[in-house]
A and B are shown apart, each in its own frame.
Chain A
């Protein structure tokens, strides 16, 4: 993934999370801010973010990977997206 593409994805994610999930476009969301462990997002919001990533970025993160390790911050989400873009995985969903 190129640096420009990575920056675009990061910005798209931040815009979506502040506007739709936090519902405050002015919220100063840091890239390393703990979203799940800080109690800012829950399973309901994680499902929305996963579908956003799938439809808008074109990467499907498997349900089993929607965890604290991969979804707790913008940094972690971007890292997981980069891994998914690097190679095929989760070839099927039931």
Chain B
């Protein structure tokens, strides 16, 4: 059941109707039941994995918050979660390879024989379970939540398949307190869903469907300009695909009165890599910052608090970004991407350690745009590493800078990026995701009509691309 399918709309409508018929005390239980039903609709095996990880994490959380060997419980809990995640993640990496060898040996359907699939959302709820265990151990949770509330924290259906990765305290607090859904929240939620559908169906699907199938397999078949253009199109496609997903699920969750993290904040306007990671998939980068970067940096700084502590300049960004690469997958491409992103952050750390700090927002406008262009260009290079295996990426870059041939891709690729840039520009200029809600009523009505018409027309003509991050 995809979140942009009609059955999902029906599922949400039925859940919402029941939700508002029930007393407040029963609403969390309904959401939990709906979340497991949603998971079972994809596969009952996935629901079983989620249930086992929930029970194990809850038990380990109680132990971590207690006085008897809390460190042991914390280690057991984190170890168990990581072991299960690693098992499925490595299976997802190795099975296709083993499967292709078996196919070569004459097996008819090797995929069915091996039959291990990556449970939907496991990469997301594993990180949330680890956050919960750490907060229990540090005494930040207070009174432990009920098993039902904790189970809902991991399974909550709008965020189950691809996040956002919520912080336990914030989410559990929302479950415990009364929830108010007023007209303003309804308007914002509806607006987010429409915006998300425009990003996903109109922009991302168009860009990703137009991509030549072999662009990241045989780059030598394309000119340098084509490669650069399609790389840009891929970056915009990936961004709108994931940002669109996040907007849709935030909107759905808003109808239940539960706020989810925004995850994206106009990342292509970033003026530094530090800023980029606060704007791109920020729920993951904040998790990495809280769990990898800051603990490691504090450990190193307690031994040498100097600004020029070399280990502190290099290790935390490299460790955090390599962990991010591993989280995306166990393939060399993700590690190469993480390494390069870590090096970018390391270079910024060297700058922070050696040169006077300056306010980015007070730099001359042209310097801010120059910084944005530098971050964007280097991020695109990292995107290339993310999209293909390192040897192919090497050929990609050689071809990119060969300046051989001047064939341009179709202009529609560039046209469909304009709405994406415009949306981000308006939001960035006002510093507000909901900038359009301040427009006059006729202007809002015209924009909404245009958006709904575009969603309708595009959904008639395009084959829906999957939500990319559901594959992680």
User: B182 to chain A: which residues have CB within 8 Å?
Assistant: none
Chain B stretch 331-361: residues in CB contact (< 8 A) with chain A: 348-349, 352-353, 355-361
CB distance from B12 to the nearest CB of A (A): 31
Interface string of B262-275 (1 = CB under 8 A from A): 00000000011011
Max chain B CB contacts within 10 Å: which of A22, A41, A55, A94?
Answer: A94
Task: Please report the C-alpha to C-alpha distance between residue A34 and residue B355 in the assembled complex, in whole angstroms.
Answer: 20
CB distance from B347 to the nearest CB of A (A): 11
Cross-chain contact A20 with B135 (CB below 8 angstroms): no
Given A43-B293, A92-B137, check contact A22 B356 (CB 8 Å).
yes
Taking the complex as formed, is A64 at the interface, i.e. its CB lies under 8 A from any CB of chain B? yes
Question: What count of chain B residues pass the 8 Å CB interface test?
Answer: 43
| Contact with A48, one of B71, B139, B290, B301 (Cβ below 8 angstroms) | B301
User: A41 to chain B: which residues have CB within 8 Å?
Assistant: 357
Cross-chain contact A45 with B352 (CB below 8 angstroms): yes
Taking the complex as formed, is B79 at the interface, i.e. its CB lies under 8 A from any CB of chain A? no
In the complex, which residue of chain B has the Cβ closest to the Cβ of A37?
B361
Cross-chain contact A94 with B361 (CB below 8 angstroms): no
Taking the complex as formed, is A51 at the interface, i.e. its CB lies under 8 A from any CB of chain B? yes
Cross-chain contact A24 with B295 (CB below 8 angstroms): no
Cross-chain contact A47 with B298 (CB below 8 angstroms): yes
User: A24 to chain B: which residues have CB within 8 Å?
Assistant: 356
Chain A stretch 15-51: residues in CB contact (< 8 A) with chain B: 20-24, 38-48, 50-51
| Contact with B294, one of A22, A45, A52, A66 (Cβ below 8 angstroms) | A66
Task: Please report the C-alpha to C-alpha distance between residue A92 and residue B247 in the assembled complex, in whole angstroms.
Answer: 36
Given A47-B294, A51-B298, check contact A64 B140 (CB 8 Å).
yes
| Contact with A44, one of B167, B275, B349 (Cβ below 8 angstroms) | B349
User: B294 to chain A: which residues have CB within 8 Å?
Assistant: 43, 46-47, 50, 63, 66
Question: What count of chain A residues pass the 8 Å CB interface test?
Answer: 32
CB distance from A91 to the nearest CB of B (A): 4
User: A23 to chain B: which residues have CB within 8 Å?
Assistant: 355-357
CB distance from B144 to the nearest CB of A (A): 15
Cross-chain contact B357 with A94 (CB below 8 angstroms): no
Chain B stretch 7-51: residues in CB contact (< 8 A) with chain A: none
Given A39-B359, A47-B312, check contact A93 B295 (CB 8 Å).
yes
| Contact with B316, one of A39, A47, A90 (Cβ below 8 angstroms) | A47
Cross-chain contact A47 with B139 (CB below 8 angstroms): no
Given A42-B272, A44-B348, A89-B139, check contact A63 B290 (CB 8 Å).
yes
Interface string of A44-84 (1 = CB under 8 A from B): 11111011101100000011101100000000000000000
User: B362 to chain A: which residues have CB within 8 Å?
Assistant: 38
Cross-chain contact A22 with B290 (CB below 8 angstroms): no
User: A91 to chain B: which residues have CB within 8 Å?
Assistant: 138-139
Taking the complex as formed, is B281 at the interface, i.e. its CB lies under 8 A from any CB of chain A? no
Max chain B CB contacts within 10 Å: which of A23, A38, A48, A90?
Answer: A48
Task: Please report the C-alpha to C-alpha distance between residue A18 and residue B42 in the assembled complex, in whole angstroms.
Answer: 55
Task: Please report the C-alpha to C-alpha distance between residue A89 and residue B298 in the assembled complex, in whole angstroms.
Answer: 18
Max chain B CB contacts within 10 Å: which of A42, A52, A62?
Answer: A42
User: B275 to chain A: which residues have CB within 8 Å?
Assistant: 39, 42
Cross-chain contact A39 with B289 (CB below 8 angstroms): no
Chain B stretch 305-325: residues in CB contact (< 8 A) with chain A: 305, 307, 312-313, 316
| Contact with A62, one of B140, B286, B361 (Cβ below 8 angstroms) | B140
In the complex, which residue of chain B has the Cβ closest to the Cβ of A46?
B294
Cross-chain contact A42 with B301 (CB below 8 angstroms): no
Given A38-B361, A39-B275, A40-B357, check contact A62 B305 (CB 8 Å).
no
Taking the complex as formed, is B134 at the interface, i.e. its CB lies under 8 A from any CB of chain A? yes
User: B359 to chain A: which residues have CB within 8 Å?
Assistant: 38-40
| Contact with A38, one of B137, B290, B360 (Cβ below 8 angstroms) | B360
CB distance from A32 to the nearest CB of B (A): 14
Taking the complex as formed, is B302 at the interface, i.e. its CB lies under 8 A from any CB of chain A? yes
User: A48 to chain B: which residues have CB within 8 Å?
Assistant: 301, 305, 307
User: B286 to chain A: which residues have CB within 8 Å?
Assistant: 67
User: A46 to chain B: which residues have CB within 8 Å?
Assistant: 294
Q: What are some 23 contacts across the A-B interface (CB < 8 A)?
A: A20-B307, A38-B359, A39-B358, A39-B361, A40-B357, A43-B274, A43-B289, A44-B313, A44-B316, A44-B349, A45-B357, A46-B294, A47-B298, A51-B298, A51-B301, A51-B305, A55-B302, A55-B305, A63-B289, A63-B291, A63-B294, A64-B290, A90-B138
Residues of A whose CB lies within 8 Å of any CB of B are: 20-24, 38-48, 50-52, 54-55, 62-64, 66-67, 89-94
